[in-house]
Chain A
Amino acid sequence: MTTYTATVTVRLKRGVLDPEAETTKRALERLGFELEALRSADQFELDLDAESADAAADRADEMAERLLANPTIHDYDVEVTEA
């Protein structure tokens, strides 16, 4: 078994309104910054023991599917590195 770190990034699907990101963008503009758009995402780092990087990725994928993301509104991706 090897210890891996799976990084799960959860973001709203393109086209789904993100009022918090809009509010943050406006706050940056009030500070005088120029920007065209702002997207936010949640990132989870999971340390887990698995037989292979693929097995670690599969487990993290299932975690995202069942809890970390809501597939109705979110896309997510999983990256695995050896811890």
Chain B
Amino acid sequence: MTVAVVQFGGSNCDRDAVQALAHVGVDAERVWHEDGLPSDIDGVVLPGGFSYGDYLRAGAMAAHSPIMNDVRDAAEDGVPVLGVCNGAQIGCEAKLTPGAFTTNASARFQCESVYLRVENADTPWTAAYDEGDVVEIPIAHGEGRFEIADDRYDDLVAEDRILFRYCDADGNVTADANPNGSRGNVAGITGDHENVAVLMPHPERATLPDLGRSIDGQGVLSAFA
């Protein structure tokens, strides 16, 4: 299986994603956005970074890059698509997933390790975990506060589309454990279909041994295996 890691101008987690995927046994290659998606890919990663310098809003420009039409078509064909950090912002701006990731409540860029509680283990992205598991995966973002209209949020909850919520080390979802002011401590969600997911934390930074504080991110990337 070959996963396309889409490289926009300003992406900077693309190589990390390729290496982390290789570590969990997934063949991946970087694809420059102007070249379009190869027709035979089996997965797509929208990596982290600062595409287009975060002009206008984080992810707004890349979301309208022509390659996103290919990504949308692939998603509709059931190909797994994962947006991480800037890729999550791009995913929401492209309406692959609902809501928006906007300025952290702190108004600061935050680069830190956080705990996440697995809310739904019945998706490809979380099948490696059990519901209620607490995983440690880092964040690095200035615009990670998840915002969504009240009725759409209720839909997300009712449809069990929340993958992870920020929590403390014991799995308690509290305001203190919410690093960025996200609605409902939401860190990651799925699109209309569960083959599409976005999350602000970086699983590729918690996959290679000896590199981060944990290898808890492997489970997310294993969705491509």
Contact = CB atoms under 8 A, between A and B. Distances in A.
B107 interface: yes
Contacts, number: 35
A73 B57 CA distance: 11
A23 B100 contact: no
Interface of B: 56-57, 60, 64, 92-93, 98-100, 102-107, 145, 147-149, 181
A67 B106 contact: no
A68 interface: yes
A15 B76 CA distance: 34
Given A16-B147, A17-B145, A17-B181, A70 B103 contact: no
B103 A19 contact: yes
Interface residues of A, number: 13
B100 A72 contact: yes
A70 B57 contact: yes
A72 B64 contact: no
Interface string A1-29: 00000000000000011111011000000
B107 A22 contact: yes
A22 B103 CA distance: 12
Contacts of B100: 70, 72-73
A72 B181 CA distance: 16
Nearest to B150: A15
